[in-house]
Amino acid sequence: MINYIIRRLLYMIPLLLGVNLITFVLFFVVNSPDDMARMHLGQKYVTEEAVSKWKSERGYDLPLFWNDEQEGIEKVEETIFFEKSVGLFFLNFGRSDNGRDIAADIGQRMWPSLAIALPSLIVGLLVNISFALLMVFFRASRLALWGVTLCVALMSISGLFYIIGGQFLVGKLLMLVPISGYDTGLAAIKFLILPVLIGVVGGIGSGARWYRTLFLEEIEKDYVRTARAKGLSETRVLFTHVLQNAMIPILTGVVVILPLLFMGSLLTESFFSIPGLGSYTIDAINMQDFAIVRSMVFLGSLLYIFGLLLTDISYTLVDPRVRLS
C-alpha cells in the first residue's frame, strides 16, 4: 500500500512537469512577453520604454530557457521558465500582473468556494440518489418513463438559465434571499442558500440519470436474484443490497472531485459575486491577468491528479476485492 502510494506520488512529477510545460508554451512561447505587454498597455502609441518597463516590473524581461549573460547555475536560474514555472512546484505562485500576492489571495478565497461547493455536493448527492432509487423502484412503469424524460429535459437546459431563473424567481420576485453578495461567518448562510439550491437543481438531470444506470446495472446481478429468492421484499433488496453495492462507483466518482471543490464554480460564483476562487479566475480572465490564470491552471491540475490518487486509495477501502499492487 505505502509502496503503491509512493510510486503514484512519483508518477505525479512527470505529469505536473507536462502540465507546466504546456502552460509555459501557451503563455510564453506562442506569444512573447512583448505581445502581452502591448495587449495590456494598448495596441497603438506604446513606446519601447513603456513595454520594457512593464516587462521588468513583472520579471518578464529575462530569456525564456537559457540565459547566456549569467555564469554557472544562474544560466538556468535567471530565466522566465525557472522563475515563473518551476516555482509553481513549490506552490510559489509569485505576484499577479497588478502586483498582488497570488498565494495569499488563493488562501483567502478558497474558503467561500468551499462553503458553496461542499453543501451543493452533499445535498446534490442525497437528492440524486433518492431520485434515481425512486426511478429504479418504479422501473418499467409510466412513472419511471416520465422521470427519465424529466431528467433529459433538465439536462437540456443550460446552467446559465438555472442561475438566471433562480435569481429572478427566488431573489427578485419572492425576495426570500438576497440576489447576490457574501458575508463573513454565519451571516454568510443567507447568501449561500440560493447558490446551493441552484447547484443542486441544475445537477439533478445528469446526476440522477447516471446513478439510475448504475443501479440498473447492479440490479441484474446474481446476488440480487438470490436476495429476492430468499423472499426479501423489493424495498429491502433495493435500499440495502443494491444501494450498498452501487455506492462503490458513486463514492469513487465523488472522491475525484473532492480536491477540486476548492477551485469553486466559475459561473455560480461570478453570478452571485461570491469572493471565491471561481470568481477570482473569471476576473483574471477578463482582466487578462496571465499570472493568475497560469497559477490556477497549475493548481487545478495538481488537485485533479491528487483526486485521482485518492480515488484509487478509496477503492481499496470500500471494496475489499480490490488490492493495489
**Minimum gap (Å) between residue 91 Cβ and another protein:** 17
Would you give the binding string for another protein spanning residues 51-90, x where CB under 8 A is met? ----------------------------------------
Q: Does 5 contact another protein by CB under 8 A?
A: no
Q: Does 146 contact another protein by CB under 8 A?
A: no
Look at residue 175 and give its three-state secondary structure: coil
Q: Which three cell numbers stand for residue 263?
A: 477551485
Task: Compute how many other C-beta atoms are within 10 angstroms of the C-beta atom of residue 158.
Answer: 10
Q: Which three cell numbers stand for residue 240?
A: 440495502
Look at residue 101 and give its three-state secondary structure: strand
**Minimum gap (Å) between residue 126 Cβ and another protein:** 25
Which of 282, 310, 313, 318 binds another protein (CB under 8 A)? It is 282
How far apart are alpha carbons 131 and 126 in whole angstroms? Answer: 9
Alpha carbon distances (Å) from 155 to 24, 149, 161, 325: 36, 10, 12, 39
User: Dihedral of CA 222/226/228/232: which sign?
Assistant: negative
Task: Compute how many other C-beta atoms are within 10 angstroms of the C-beta atom of residue 18.
Answer: 11
**Minimum gap (Å) between residue 290 Cβ and another protein:** 7
Q: Does 161 contact another protein by CB under 8 A?
A: yes
Q: Which of residues 220-249 bind another protein (CB under 8 A)?
A: none
Find where cell 425512486 sits.
134
In residues, how long is the chain?
Answer: 325
Which of 2, 3, 10, 30 binds another protein (CB under 8 A)? It is 30
Q: Residues 6 or more apart from 98 whose CB is under 8 A from it?
A: 287, 289
How far apart are alpha carbons 283 and 45 in whole angstroms? Answer: 26
Q: Does 39 contact another protein by CB under 8 A?
A: yes
Which of 300, 311, 313, 318 binds another protein (CB under 8 A)? It is 300
Q: Does 290 contact another protein by CB under 8 A?
A: yes
Q: Does 169 contact another protein by CB under 8 A?
A: no
How far apart are alpha carbons 246 and 243 in whole angstroms? Answer: 5
Would you give the binding string for another protein spanning residues 101-140, x where CB under 8 A is met? ----------------------------------------
Q: Does 304 contact another protein by CB under 8 A?
A: yes
73, 74, 80, 82: CA torsion to nearest 10 = 40
Which of 56, 98, 141, 158 binds another protein (CB under 8 A)? It is 158
Which of 281, 291, 314, 315 binds another protein (CB under 8 A)? It is 281
**Minimum gap (Å) between residue 65 Cβ and another protein:** 19
Cα Rg of the chain (Å, integer):
25
**Minimum gap (Å) between residue 60 Cβ and another protein:** 13
Residue closest to 31 by CA, chosen among 80, 90, 94, 101: 80
Contacts with another protein, residue ranges (CB under 8 A): 14-15, 18-19, 22-23, 26-27, 30-31, 35-36, 38-39, 43, 152-153, 155-161, 164, 167-168, 260, 263, 266-267, 270, 281-282, 285-286, 288, 290, 293-294, 296-297, 300-301, 304-305, 308
